[in-house]
Chains A and B, each alone.
Chain A
Amino acid sequence: MRVLVGVKRVIDYAVRVRVAGDKSGVELANVKMSMNPFCEIACEEAIQLKEKKVASEVVAVSIGPKQAQETLRSALAMGCDRAIHVATDLRLDQELNPLAVARLLAKVVADEQPDLVIVGKQSIDGDNGTTGPMLAELLGWSQATFAAKFDVAGDGATAEVERETDTGTEVVKVKLPTVLTADLRLNTPRYPKLPNIMKAKKKPLESKDAADYGVDLAPSIVVEAVASPEARAAGITVDSVDTLVDKLKNEAAVI
């Protein structure tokens, strides 16, 4: 079976983001970018499927600027077999909406004919959490979101998925092909080993222009302004429990 993995280039999780002076968005210039953490989990899952001989080929796809190829090289170094770069200069965190991404991915699925698509449950820039479900809808496939465990049945026709929900863990059975969205506990991504970093540059990486897919990329959501959260005012120390209760009752009105 062939697995397609979506990997997105985002601001590194450890960077303290800054809002641009004109409030048009967060500052992207000279900021460290990395693979979206949930996409790393998606990649790891696909590679493990290959190691377990459930999958025969893992193809990574990334939509974004030229530098998205670096993210794809990371995916190849982790162990994906080949990569597809869909080039666009739209800002990934606010101009290229999840629906446009899902439409592009649906086209890539049509070209590549995978039996399984794995994406992260959300990306840490837009935090939309909608790309996977919309892709499943466009393809008319089943979907298993927030996956914490994934097992393909012996006959390859169905899979059992443990999903993390707010009320607990749910186990569902899905028909393949399916779209899986990876949650934190699905696995722990590996470091790419040095020999695999060296091999990654020899693996095929194909670049295509997003405009050539003939899908509508115009944003359906337009960002008007981005602002930093207001700084929290410093707390105060009260001298007795009575004052505390009084303030909670009368000033904060929480009890």
Chain B
Amino acid sequence: MLVATRALARRAPASSLRVAHLSTASALEAESERFSIYNPTEEHVALRQMVRSFAEQEVDPQRAEYNEKEQFNRALFARCGELGLLGVTADESCGGSGMDAVAACVVHEELSAADPAFALSYLAHSMLYVNNVNLNASEDQKRRWLPGACDGSKVCAMAMSEPGAGTDVLGMRTAAVDAGDHYVLNGSKMWITNGCVDSETLGDGALVYARTGPGRADVSLFHVGPENPGFSLGQRITGKLGMRASPTAELVFEDCVVPKEDLVSEWNGAALCMMRNLELERVVLAAMAVGIAKRCVDRMGKYAAERVAFGRPIAEFGQMQRHVAEGYAKLMAARAYLYATAVDLDLTSTGNRLDTDGVKLFATTVAKEVADAAIQVHGGYGYVAEYQVEQLWRDAKLLEIGGGTLESHHKNMIRDLAEGLPPGV
């Protein structure tokens, strides 16, 4: 919709413009803008159109440069704030839009098709931080933290993983003690998206999980920022395979002082916050996977029609047909599973683990496989940055690790599927 005039404005040579119908909007695109399970309400349709226009006009063009330089695009992030995307699921009274899990999926799918790395930083901020605060923090805390996080002036993170504990997250060793009028935090966190914004600078706020009791599930949640004494940037992690425009940090806590009013939820009560937020995280990571797969199908379809070998478009060769057709079918299966899961996901609930794990398990591998097929169809051109598919392939791989490895999904799902199994580790 709004892309239209902008694109026209760029091309317009003179006042007496003959408006031509430009490129092809694929069957895929037209289909996903109508009411359907992907867009259950009028607001979802409008949201998808808005994010798609924004992604085409502003996210796509910056992708190559920021990923090559491993830089976070803070100005683009601020634009997401202006457009109201950072608080998609947050309360309206705190600067959010109070939308549902489907809306969150719509935004992730569209942003990820243009630049998965930028979408990952969007996810860490708006889902792992904003949505977590919105659900688990007190009204006073929400008023203190959410407006700046929703308007884009603050870039925030959630820190759960540690150098020695990832899948086994409850094996975390970062610990906090109650020192009377404040808490003291010691330990370190690893792989924290938006933990920093560049090699020297911490992000503006983070939710940090820490051990606070002898029981395995005795963890609490704290809010920290660069202003807390004893909190520092261990390192910015560089040289990642993919997701290079998304900053990843090691965070260090050395006798870090946390004011009493910055404990989120109950003392020893954060396991529930973690589980509830992980369900949404997995669904939107699956949405990112769908965005990647969609872009790959689109790219390989177009390329197969254009590229000529042996005197014919390569789309006429059976092996190429298989890549494109199977890619499309896998994409649509992942997408249907995604929106079927999201539409039933009540953000305030837990206990949706089977399908939130299941959809991430399925969709992320689809993204990797479809990206691989897209490179294959592009031949040598698929191996270089210009056609985007090599980046999508590298970025897709993270989705099989972050937010829970494939194996962690197997481990979780078997608890629901093999009834009567004794409680696992």
Contact = CB atoms under 8 A, between A and B. Distances in A.
Interface of A: 11-17, 30-32, 34-35, 37-38, 40-41, 70, 73-74, 77, 122, 124, 127, 146, 148, 164-166, 183-185, 188-198, 200-201
How many of chain B's residues touch chain A, expressed as a range?
35 or more
A107 B99 CA distance: 39
A13 B15 contact: no
Given A191-B50, A194-B50, A195-B97, A13 B43 contact: no
Given A15-B25, A70-B45, A183-B15, A191 B83 contact: yes
B42 A201 contact: yes
A77 B370 CA distance: 36
- Most chain B CB inside 10 Å of its own CB: which residue of A17, A35, A127, A197: A197
A167 B15 CA distance: 9
Contact of A37 (B19, B30, B42, B84): B19
Contacts of A190: 2
Given A14-B21, A40-B1, A190-B2, A184 B45 contact: no
B348 interface: no
B23 A16 contact: yes
Given A16-B24, A124-B19, A198-B98, A34 B83 contact: no
A184 B21 contact: no
Contacts of B97: 194-195, 197-198
Contacts of A34: 1, 4, 49
A198 B43 CA distance: 7
Interface in B11-30: 12, 14-19, 21-25, 29-30
A74 B92 contact: no
B46 interface: yes
A65 to B, nearest CB: 14
B255 interface: no
B21 A13 contact: yes
Contacts of B98: 198
Given A14-B22, A194-B50, A195-B97, A37 B4 contact: yes
Contacts of A183: 15
A192 B46 contact: yes
Contacts of A41: 5
Given A13-B21, A197-B50, A198-B98, 13 more contacts: A11-B21, A13-B4, A14-B3, A14-B22, A14-B25, A34-B1, A70-B45, A77-B50, A127-B19, A165-B15, A184-B8, A197-B43, A201-B42
Contacts, number: 126
A195 B84 contact: yes
A175 B199 CA distance: 60
Given A34-B4, A70-B45, A198 B99 contact: yes
- Most chain A CB inside 10 Å of its own CB: which residue of B6, B19, B31, B98: B19
Contact of B47 (A148, A164, A194): A194
A73 B15 CA distance: 29
Nearest to B9: A184
Interface of B: 1-9, 12, 14-19, 21-25, 29-31, 33, 42-43, 45-47, 49-50, 53-54, 82-85, 88, 92, 97-99
Per CB-CB distance, the 5 closest pairs between chain A and chain B, nearest first, are A194-B84, A164-B15, A37-B4, A32-B30, A13-B4
Nearest to A10: B4
Contacts of A17: 21
Contact of B83 (A31, A32, A35, A193): A193
A82 B49 CA distance: 21
A40 B5 CA distance: 7
21 contacts: A12-B4, A13-B19, A13-B21, A13-B22, A15-B21, A16-B21, A16-B23, A32-B29, A34-B1, A34-B4, A124-B19, A127-B18, A164-B14, A184-B12, A188-B5, A191-B50, A194-B85, A196-B84, A197-B97, A198-B43, A198-B97
A8 to B, nearest CB: 12
B157 to A, nearest CB: 22
B307 to A, nearest CB: 18
A122 B8 CA distance: 14
A224 B31 CA distance: 31
A90 B23 CA distance: 27
B29 A13 contact: no
Nearest to B3: A14
A15 B19 contact: no
A37 B46 contact: no
Contacts of A30: 30-31
A12 B99 contact: no
A206 to B, nearest CB: 17
A187 to B, nearest CB: 9
A14 B50 contact: no
Given A70-B45, A194-B47, A194-B88, A14 B83 contact: no
B88 A13 contact: no
Nearest to A12: B25
Contacts of B18: 127
A35 B99 contact: no
Contacts of A13: 3-4, 7-8, 19, 21-22
B161 to A, nearest CB: 30
A86 B253 CA distance: 64
A73 B12 CA distance: 28
Contacts of A192: 2, 46, 50
Nearest to A167: B15
B30 A189 contact: no
Given A37-B5, A190-B2, A77 B46 contact: yes
B12 to A, nearest CB: 5
A32 B6 contact: no
Given A13-B7, A15-B30, A73-B46, A191 B53 contact: yes
A16 B24 CA distance: 5
B2 A40 contact: yes
